[in-house]
Structure 1
Amino acid sequence: MAAKIRVTWPDGAICGICFTTALRTRGSCPECGKDRLLPGRTADGTDICRDCAGITTNMTCEGCGSETERFRAGHCIRCVLRTDLEALLHTHTPPDLSLKRLIGVPAGAGRPESVYTWMRGANTKELLTGLGSRTIALTHPSFDALPASRSVEYLREMLIHHGMLPDRDRQLAAFERWLAIRIDDLAGTPHIQAPIERFARWHHLKRLRQMAGPGKSLNTAVRSAKQEITETGKFLTWLGADHGLTIHGLRQAHLNQYLSEGPSTRYAIRTFIVWLIKNKEIGRLQIPHRYAATKPLITQQQRLALIRRCIDSTASPLGFRVAGLILLLFAQPVGKIAALKCEDLQALPEGLHLGLGNVPVLVPAQIAPMFWDYLHDRPNQQTGNAGSQWLFPGTLPGHHIHADAMMGQLRALGIDLGGARNTALRTLVEELSPTLVARALGYSYQVIHKHAADAGAPMAGYAGKAMFPL
């Protein structure tokens, strides 16, 4: 199981892992004072440069002349990436400035070795070859025409993130593709297809397009739209199969029967029914909102123990512990936490503040260093996502982490997401003005006042101060 010996230096045999580590150690040599690689070591373990250590291994790239690990044929990894990309993209025949820029992005990545591995994948190599031969154009329709794959979306988002493709909302585009397939699947049932297409396009698609914009996340809205469209399809199928009716024959008795005989997800048809009534396609019917039978809660002692775990645990990445603290202290939905931007953290005279609503909230001084440490060492920026605006960057260039991925990590910390958020809200409205809590945390007044009523908070009508004292 011993590591394979790569080279032998004056201080002994060096394995491959130690060799790579040594060639990534850079700084001021304590013996000669020059700023360069520090692969050698003194007897007391101090890192020193190649010349002072008497190392004869060549560490100069024959392409760019930099002192670094020679990756292939005497050239460093960045020079190898440029050479390979030039061979695939043919940026000079004919000249293409966008493709020329594309070469600089992977070659300048913080972890070029990962980019090299990505390029060697069959799908990626085929895509880059298509760009080089000009059979794949730098346009969204051209990428949409390709078979869907992770490689296609990763390259597309890299091009968008670095300004080589025009920006567009990825979730909105995915919803449009999903909707087209969904409507096509209903082609054999026109009495179902027609109302669903009108509802989906005139209500949901119109609304999503209005919501889309720079920095906006449509994740929750798209999920809700898909569920409502899917449940509407089930309802119309039931109405035809069990009663031989279309929507124009719908009566209150049919609606009551459908809602009473099935799971609570059937209440997702409410938006469709309200839309039909508004457009005068059916008469006025009554359909209640769906409310959870109970609100999950954890005890205050459990909440405090989870806060302590997020502060002290070293088993979980710092970013997910910071996300856990935002949930436990400020009762934020996971989708909103995942979509926070770096600019939402603000250094003000009173301390570090987090922008969640209309009033910035103060991050407690005891945990502010954790937030600063994370902000200056965020993950997922070493390949195609460099310079991300998101506080929690995802692996896809230009995008934040997906809410589902964050949920999984927070659950791994032992956090009951719904229970923790409800308990945090209840605690806050018991101590502070509900109106102030709503403004500071970005909730609607109706939601917060309902939590205040459930908690029996005596301050439910108090106007509150202009500062959220956390």
Structure 2
Amino acid sequence: MTRPRKAGDPAKWPEACARCAEHHKVAVRWPDGGICGYCYQQAKRTRGTCACGHEGVLPGRIDTLPACRKCSGVRLNVDCIGCGTEDELHSGNRCWSCILAMTVDRLLSPADNQPPSPALQAIGTALKSMKRANSGLTWIQQPHVTEFLQQLAAEPVITHARLDELPASRTREYVRGLLVEHNALPRRDELSTRFTAWADQALERIASQNHRDIMRRYIRWHHQRRMNQMDEVTQGTFLRAKQAVTVAIELLNWLTAQDTELTEVNQAHLERWQAEGPTTRGIASRFLDWAIRTNLIDPSLRLQPHRRGTSPRLDAAAQTELVTTLSHTADMNPRNRAAASLILVFGQQVSDIVQLTWENVTVTEELVTITLGTVEIALTPPLDEPWRELAATPTHHQTAAHPRSNWVFRGGLPGRHLQASTLTEQLSAWFSSRAARLGTLHELTKLAPVAIIAEALGYSPATIDRHAIDSSANYAQYIASAAATRKAPR
């Protein structure tokens, strides 16, 4: 990637660059004039087919068109002595791809000069075949990555269990993802595995052995059983399970402090415990519901459920202004503009947006369509523009992380989609995703029947019905207010 340009300085560098006409230090003189460092770097990375038919690096210019060295008279060494191709050279007259391959072989080879394990061979092949070799070399040369890969190189066999024994880190999970994506390890549900490991540690916080046994049953037969029935555990399910277990442990430890077993709890205990703490203690009602179903406590026991406050929502005018602004701005990348349109126009949840695949999107020369529920929806200009850009240049496609990925919103970890929290944070500079989504659904329920909106947007009818009731209630209040105004004496 070309370095960001600093502002030119005519006083320091009087001569303007022959390519960009800006005043920077001249790095080289070619037939078309003095070339600044920025344009020099860009020239070395310009590839294509010259008018003469030559395919490769086109550093020169003939009029305004890129041209090969022979046609333009540019003197530049871009001949790799390793692979023989024309490319930007890294060092020792070798291109970035050759240096990356040499570095990979060096790091992944065991100390006894034996060949690397089959798992590491798969990673090595993937890294060496990256289209953007500079990214791979930058990543692998980080000290913590180098150390981790050298540690793996000493392992005769690499398994999920062996990786789990290593210190937890983002590098460990990234490498695990590479192993899975390149078929060196079987795929497993990482969030389910993370919850199991977290739950084992959480059990140690319980003061009473009896309560610890109860919580172990709750975790196993409620949360883990539910996760095992899912095709893939979502981030939301993972976080809600952790929250439910955490609050339940607080309740059990409080009962232990009161010298009370869960089987002896009464309504007075629950009311006192809930009154003494934050409103999130109401989340323990999920645990109590399970305890009732398993005949551990009296079925009449109740907590005041935890309810969120009324969330703000964007009004129609603010939504329209945002759609207009984001449809034409150059300050937001195509991926975020595509996501923003789904929230502001179709009321989609961020957690659903990040799970879209290219099977949900069809891009043709004439039309872009997207399937959110069971209905294929056409995206009219300018809403279709970011989707066309994404289809033409998908993100992360030049690294080893996503060799076969079909995600529209590809994440930083191999084979994974973008985290919903990451996308929400990226959009927060422009608007609140939740407020925008609620505002959109509020307005949509005024325009079409509940069943049609639910089917088209992929919501349950009950969810859309709640928004419709809210919308109708507000409208009813407006009618009542208008009627009272008309009846008032003048």
| TM-score, length-scaled by structure 1 | 0.88
- Is 1:247 aligned to residue 268 of structure 2? no
Separation in 1, partners of 2:242, 2:169: 21
Aligned pair partner of 1:314 in 306, 312, 330: 330
Q: Could you list the runs of 5+ residues in structure 1 that have no partner in the other structure?
A: 459-470
Contact residue 217 and residue 339 of structure 1 kept, 8 A:
no
Separation in 2, partners of 1:291, 1:134: 51
Amino acid in structure 1 at the alignment position of 2:248 = T
Separation in 1, partners of 2:102, 2:141: 14
The corresponding residue for 2:483 is none
Amino acid in structure 1 at the alignment position of 2:179 = L
- Is 1:90 aligned to residue 109 of structure 2? yes
The corresponding residue for 1:463 is none
- Of 301-310 and 348-357, deviating more is 348-357
Alignment of 1:251-290 (within 5 A): 251-284=266-299, 285-287=301-303, 289-290=305-306
Separation in 1, partners of 2:366, 2:174: 41
What SS does structure 1 have at the residue aligned with 2:56?
strand
- Is 1:409 aligned to residue 429 of structure 2? no
Cα distance 1:54–1:350, how it changes in 2: closer, same or farther (>3 A)?
A: closer
- Is 1:134 aligned to residue 151 of structure 2? no
The corresponding residue for 1:466 is none
What SS does structure 1 have at the residue aligned with 2:445?
helix
Separation in 2, partners of 1:263, 1:380: 43
The corresponding residue for 2:55 is 35
What SS does structure 2 have at the residue aligned with 1:71?
strand
Cα shift readout 1:118-151 (whole Å, capped 9, x = no counterpart): 111222112222333335x321111111111121
- Is 1:101 aligned to residue 114 of structure 2? no
Separation in 1, partners of 2:269, 2:136: 58
Alignment of 1:33-432 (within 5 A): 33-42=53-62, 44-90=63-109, 93-94=114-115, 96-134=117-155, 137-186=157-206, 188-211=207-230, 213=231, 216=232, 218-241=234-257, 243-284=258-299, 285-287=301-303, 289-347=305-363, 351-387=367-403, 388-413=405-430, 415-432=431-448
> How high is the sequence identity, in percent, across the aligned residues?
32
Separation in 2, partners of 1:451, 1:173: 36
The corresponding residue for 2:467 is 451
Q: Could you list the runs of 5+ residues in structure 2 that have no partner in the other structure?
A: 1-8, 14-23, 475-490
Separation in 1, partners of 2:473, 2:394: 39
Separation in 1, partners of 2:222, 2:333: 41
Amino acid in structure 2 at the alignment position of 1:145 = E
In the TM superposition, what is the alpha-carbon distance from 1:281 to its structure 2 partner? Answer: 0.9
Contact residue 104 and residue 127 of structure 2 kept, 8 A:
no
Separation in 2, partners of 1:26, 1:8: 20
Contact residue 38 and residue 49 of structure 1 kept, 8 A:
yes
Cα distance 1:20–1:330, how it changes in 2: closer, same or farther (>3 A)?
A: same
In the TM superposition, what is the alpha-carbon distance from 1:347 to its structure 2 partner? Answer: 5.0
Contact residue 344 and residue 440 of structure 2 kept, 8 A:
yes
Cα shift readout 1:280-299 (whole Å, capped 9, x = no counterpart): 11120234543334242221
- CA RMSD between the two structures: 2.5
Contact residue 299 and residue 423 of structure 1 kept, 8 A:
yes
In the TM superposition, what is the alpha-carbon distance from 1:325 to its structure 2 partner? Answer: 1.0
What SS does structure 2 have at the residue aligned with 1:362?
strand
How many residues are aligned here? 449
In the TM superposition, what is the alpha-carbon distance from 1:259 to its structure 2 partner? Answer: 3.3
Contact residue 351 and residue 365 of structure 1 kept, 8 A:
no
Contact residue 208 and residue 218 of structure 1 kept, 8 A:
no
What SS does structure 2 have at the residue aligned with 1:353?
strand
Cα distance 1:39–1:274, how it changes in 2: closer, same or farther (>3 A)?
A: same
Amino acid in structure 1 at the alignment position of 2:444 = L
In the TM superposition, what is the alpha-carbon distance from 1:447 to its structure 2 partner? Answer: 1.6
Contact residue 434 and residue 449 of structure 1 kept, 8 A:
yes
Contact residue 358 and residue 439 of structure 1 kept, 8 A:
yes
